[in-house]
């Protein structure tokens, strides 16, 4: 079929009126930019209307349509009645994709009950290409029917691009505008399109359509009124339309009752035939369209007969009305526009069924007519180009002779540019040399931001206002030195890790790196290696290092990699964190067990082990291992004799009355700072809150220290100190080119 257009005119020539929509595509919806509803001078279905008079009435209506609307630019799609058409849906045998047209043609010859030369036919695939069952819809109409329809438009110089049968247009409307009603092949929606002479039944499922034409429509009700009251068809039609407000309403509806009964029974019989042929399909809803639905009581009677909900649309859900158009007038006739709405969707390329029953001869004439315009345009363009070329040659000759001095000046400028380019190349060469020297000088500063970043990473894993939101106020108060607020929380309940010492050093091989190496030890090792390398001792250097390592570590040196190790090394940092905590369960703050899947309960070490989750996948650091040689955690209650250096602040308190308790507590009385001649005992306190953090002895009533069963002093325990040693791999560590292999720096 013809390619989809950006805008389309859709026209439905019915027995009582012409319905037309002018649509454009706007994303997933369509916009109505024009519409028309023109009644014929009289009904075309009357028995007293001759063929010539029918043609004249249609011609008059089409002329009015052309005069009232600009239809000269956009394609035109028209419908043909269902009683003159044929539609079948068949399942094809499994064949290759390239053989589908041949198989469809064979099936069409079997299904269409006319000679193939007497019909216009087309087909549409109803399933996806990779679907195991290929279902195809075959549509046909006799040549004389479609040609007679086309003559009406040809007489008025209206060029038709598409021809579609009315039931398929209604199916396209429902599938696009109400997709929720046709989402399954086991639940069907019925469209009842009530026209003047006939009623179209269209049963719609997700991948199939069933149609039937009932030769009863609005004129049957008009004829019943005319016969009962002995009126002309025109007067009977007028009486039918005004029946609800007429004083003879009861008599009018009594006259139409037999037609109501016959029409509803015929609809019921047709749908009964469908359900008996398709027992797996359930009819769920009826959508009423067409001018006949305006007859009062018709849809209510149909719903009572079928026992199925009947709905009359009041608007199209996916159609917008352009500014300047009468929305009220459009919605007044919305049930008449169902067919033209579906036709327009096909012309815009937004319909499921896109079969085109346009006669082959007309389509061929249209194609050549369209090409003729391009041929003429191409010839004119070729002539213009030839004239422009001849004129250009003449102008170029005159310009060339006139601009001799300009060409000489251009040559001088080009020579100067080439000379400048050579000078630029020399400067570029010198620039590269200087750049290399600068990179060599400043290369050692390339990774200077890594250690500060490492400090920030480790500090971010400590308990803080973000990691421990239930004590956010505590951390904020502690950071600003607000001791009063801090003391409002009992000290054993404060989830704090207070770091007093933090050391980091680099090693190019974490597997052999040891905890406890001091900066002096690492510096001495680097100096020895550098001196031996500078003296050119070569192999002797390697033997000396190996001998020293064997003397220090013994057989474990070979396990750490030794001189014969060939496996890839993991560079990174050795980290030691020392501090103390007031919390009653320091283990829960450091590394609580079984909380891997609960980030809200993670401890310090758990966060270090999950840096990717905390800082994102670009974090360059990763916990190396928690095995004994690569991870160490020590903690104990803070006691004056065993506490690591730097924890807490020393404060002197007055000595107890019984000086023997001082000896028992293991403390030497000192002279209190700023208290001349006054003796006291040194204790450790929190620098912010000034609370005591070291364990203090318990005294009895005589002022003597209490002892436990092991004859050790009974202590009131406060804070705990901890030391945590671990290794972090560095993902982007530079390659180490010095002779050292395991020495940290």
pLDDT at 191: 95
Residues 2 and 138 reside in one and the same domain: yes
7, 151: one domain: yes
pLDDT band of 67, cuts 50, 70, 90: very high
Geometric angle at alpha carbon 542, from 538 and 546, rounded to 5°: 165
Q: How does pLDDT run across 364-400, given as a tens digit for each residue?
A: 655 555 556 677 888 888 888 888 888 888 887 777 7
Q: How far apart are CA 576 and CA 636, in angstroms?
A: 17
> Dihedral, CA atoms, 461, 466, 470, 474, nearest 10 degrees?
90
Determine the pLDDT at residue 736: 63
Instruction: Tell me, yes or no, whether 335 and 294 share the same domain.
Output: no
Count Cβ atoms below 10 Å from residue 272 Cβ, excluding itself: 11
Range of weakest confidence among 469-473, 499-503, 516-520: 516-520
DSSP state of 84: G
Residue 539, pLDDT > 60, answer: no
Whether 507 is in a domain gets the answer yes
The whole-number pLDDT of residue 43 equals 81
pLDDT of residue 626: 87
Query: Is residue 469 in some structural domain?
Result: no
Q: Is 422 among the domain residues?
A: yes
Rounded Cα distance, 583 and 606, in Å:
18
Residue 632 lies in a domain: yes
Q: Which residue has the tokens 């001018």?
A: 291
Interval 232-244 mean pLDDT:
82
Q: Which domain holds residue 699?
A: 649-718
Q: Going by DSSP bridges, is the β-strand pair 649-654/679-685 parallel, antiparallel, or unpaired?
A: antiparallel
Residue 368, classed as helix, strand or coil, is helix
Q: CA–CA separation, 707 vs 704, rounded Å?
A: 9
d(CA 198, CA 201): 10
DSSP H helices in 178-311 = 218-229, 233-241, 249-277, 298-306
Per-residue pLDDT, 366: 55
pLDDT of residue 661: 44
Please determine, for residue 137, whether its predicted confidence score (pLDDT) is greater than 60.
Answer: yes
Asked whether the predicted pLDDT for residue 632 surpasses 80, the reply is yes
Q: Is the pLDDT of residue 672 over 50?
A: no
In a domain, residue 442? The reply is: no
286 and 393 in a single domain? The answer is no
Instruction: Give yes or no: residues 2 and 89 share one domain.
Output: yes
- CATH classification of the domain holding 121: 3.30.420.380
CATH number, domain at 245? 3.30.420.40
Q: What is the mean pLDDT of the chain?
A: 82
Element (H, E) at 638: none
Q: Is the dihedral of CA 87, 91, 93, 98 positive or negative?
A: positive
Task: Please give the pLDDT value at position 72.
Answer: 82
Best CA proximity match to 500, nearest among 636, 646, 649, 605: 646
Strand partners, 649: 685
Would 242 be classed as within a structural domain?
yes
* Same-domain status, 73 and 101: yes
Do 240 and 250 fall within a single domain? yes
Per-residue buried b or exposed e for 448-466, using 16+ beta carbons within 10 Å of the residue's own CB: eebeeebeebbeebbbbee
Pair 58, 128 in one domain: yes
Percentage of residues in the chain with pLDDT exceeding 70? 85
Whether residue 12 sits in one domain with residue 101: yes
Flag whether pLDDT at 531 surpasses 80: no
Q: How many CA atoms lie within 13 A of 123 on its CB side?
A: 25
Q: Are residues 53 and 161 in the same domain?
A: yes
Domain identity same for 104 and 184:
no
Between helices 519-534 and 539-553, what is the axis angle to 10°? 160
Among 573, 577, 576, 444, smallest CA distance to 509 is for 573
- Tell me whether residue 573 is exposed, middle or buried, using C-beta atoms within 10 angstroms of its C-beta: 0 to 12, 13 to 18, 19 or more: buried
Look at residue 365 and tell me if it is in a domain: no
More confident residue, 545 or 591: 591
Residue 673: pLDDT band (50, 70, 90) is very low
Choice between 66 and 559, residue whose per-residue pLDDT is larger: 66
Quick one: pLDDT at residue 106?
A: 86
pLDDT of 658 reads: 53
d(CA 491, CA 583): 7
Looking at the 3D structure of the chain, how many domains does it have?
5
Nearest C-alpha neighbor of 137 from the set 104, 164, 173, 170: 104
Whether residue 156 has pLDDT greater than 70: yes
pLDDT of residue 561: 46
* Residue 649 DSSP label: E
HSE, side-chain direction, 13 A CA sphere, residue 459: 12
Predicted confidence at residue 742, as pLDDT, reads 40
Q: What is the pLDDT of residues 97-126, one digit of tens each?
A: 788 888 888 888 888 888 888 888 888 888
Is pLDDT of 15 > 90?
A: no
CA distance 479 to 486: 10
pLDDT of residue 660: 44
pLDDT confidence of residue 168 = 92
**Helix 249-277 and helix 218-229, axial crossing angle in degrees, nearest 10:** 150
Using alpha carbons only, give the angle 635, 579, 648 rounded to the nearest 5 degrees. 110
- Most confident listed range (8-22, 527-541, 640-654): 8-22
**Within a domain: 134:** yes
Residues 144 and 226 both lie in one domain: no
Average pLDDT over residues 240-248: 80
pLDDT of 90 strictly over 70: yes
What span, in angstroms and rounded, lies between the C-alpha atoms of 497 and 585? 11
């Amino acid at each position: 079929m013809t390619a989809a257009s950006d805008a389309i005119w859709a026209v439905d020539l019915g027995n009582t009126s012409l319905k037309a929509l002018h649509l454009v595509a706007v994303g997933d919806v369509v916009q109505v930019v024009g519409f028309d509803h023109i009644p014929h001078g009289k009904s075309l279905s009357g028995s007293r209307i001759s063929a010539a008079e029918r043609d004249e009435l249609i011609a008059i209506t089409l002329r009015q349509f052309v005069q009232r609307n600009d239809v000269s630019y956009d394609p035109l799609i028209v419908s043909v009645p269902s009683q003159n058409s044929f539609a079948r849906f068949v399942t094809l045998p499994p064949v290759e994709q390239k053989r589908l047209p041949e198989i469809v043609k064979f099936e069409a010859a079997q299904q269409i009950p006319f000679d193939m030369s007497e019909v216009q036919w087309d087909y549409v695939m109803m399933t996806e290409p990779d679907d195991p069952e290929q279902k195809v819809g075959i549509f046909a109409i006799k040549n004389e029917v479609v040609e007679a329809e086309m003559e009406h438009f040809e007489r008025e110089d209206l060029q038709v691009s598409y021809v579609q049968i009315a039931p398929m247009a209604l199916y396209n409307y429902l599938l696009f505008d109400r997709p929720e009603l046709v989402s399954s092949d086991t639940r069907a929606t019925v469209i009842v399109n009530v026209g003047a002479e006939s009623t179209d039944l269209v049963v719609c499922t997700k991948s199939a359509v069933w149609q039937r034409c009932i030769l009863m429509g609005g004129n049957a009700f008009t004829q019943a009124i005319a016969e009962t009251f002995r009126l002309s068809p025109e007067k009977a039609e007028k009486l039918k339309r005004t029946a609800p407000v007429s004083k003879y309403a009861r008599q009018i509806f009594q006259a139409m009752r037999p037609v109501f009964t016959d029409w509803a029974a015929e609809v019921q019989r047709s749908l009964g035939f469908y359900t008996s042929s398709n027992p797996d399909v359930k009819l769920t809803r009826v959508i009423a369209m067409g001018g006949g639905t305006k007859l009062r009581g018709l849809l209510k009677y149909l719903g009572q007969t079928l026992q199925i909900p009947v709905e009359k649309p009041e608007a199209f859900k996916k159609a917008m009305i352009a500014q300047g158009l009468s929305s009220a007038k459009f919605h007044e006739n919305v049930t008449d526009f169902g067919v033209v709405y579906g036709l327009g969707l096909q012309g815009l390329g937004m319909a499921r069924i896109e079969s085109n029953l346009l006669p082959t001869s007309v389509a061929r004439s249209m194609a050549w007519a369209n090409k003729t315009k391009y041929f003429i345009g191409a010839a004119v363009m070729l002539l213009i180009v030839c004239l422009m070329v001849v004129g250009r040659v003449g102008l170029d000759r005159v310009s060339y002779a006139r601009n001799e001095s300009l060409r000489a000046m251009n040559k001088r400028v080009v020579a100067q540019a080439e000379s400048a380019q050579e000078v630029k190349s020399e400067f570029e060469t010198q620039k590269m040399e200087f750049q290399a020297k600068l990179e060599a000088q400043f290369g050692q500063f390339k990774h200077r931001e890594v250690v500060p970043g490492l400090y920030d990473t480790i500090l971010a894993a400590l308990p803080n206002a973000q990691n421990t939101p239930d004590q956010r106020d505590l951390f904020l108060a502690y950071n600003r030195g607000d001791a009063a607020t801090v003391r409002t929380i009992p000290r054993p309940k404060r989830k704090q890790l207070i770091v007093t010492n933090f050391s980091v050093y680099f090693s190019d091989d974490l597997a052999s790196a040891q905890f406890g190496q001091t900066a002096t030890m690492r510096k001495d090792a680097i100096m020895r290696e550098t001196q031996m390398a500078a003296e050119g001792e070569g192999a002797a250097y390697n033997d000396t290092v190996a001998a020293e390592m064997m003397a220090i570590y013994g057989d474990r040196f070979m396990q750490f990699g030794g001189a014969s190790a060939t496996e890839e090394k993991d560079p990174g940092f050795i980290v030691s964190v020392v501090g103390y905590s007031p919390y009653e369960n320091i283990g829960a703050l450091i590394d609580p067990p079984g909380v891997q899947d609960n980030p809200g309960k993670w401890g310090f070490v758990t966060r270090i082990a999950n840096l990717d989750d905390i800082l994102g996948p670009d974090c360059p650091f990763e916990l190396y291992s928690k095995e004994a040689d690569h991870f160490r955690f020590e903690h104990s209650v803070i006691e004056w004799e065993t506490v690591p250096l730097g924890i807490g602040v020393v404060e002197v308190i007055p000595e107890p009355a019984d000086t023997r308790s001082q000896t028992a507590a293991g403390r030497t009385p000192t002279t209190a700072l700023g208290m001349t001649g006054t003796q006291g005992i040194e204790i450790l306190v929190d620098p912010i809150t000034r609370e005591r953090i070291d364990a203090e002895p318990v005294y009895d009533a005589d002022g003597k220290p209490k002892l436990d069963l092991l004859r050790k002093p009974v202590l009131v325990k406060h804070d705990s100190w901890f030391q945590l040693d671990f290794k972090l791999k560095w993902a982007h560590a530079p390659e180490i080119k010095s002779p050292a292999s395991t020495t940290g720096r």
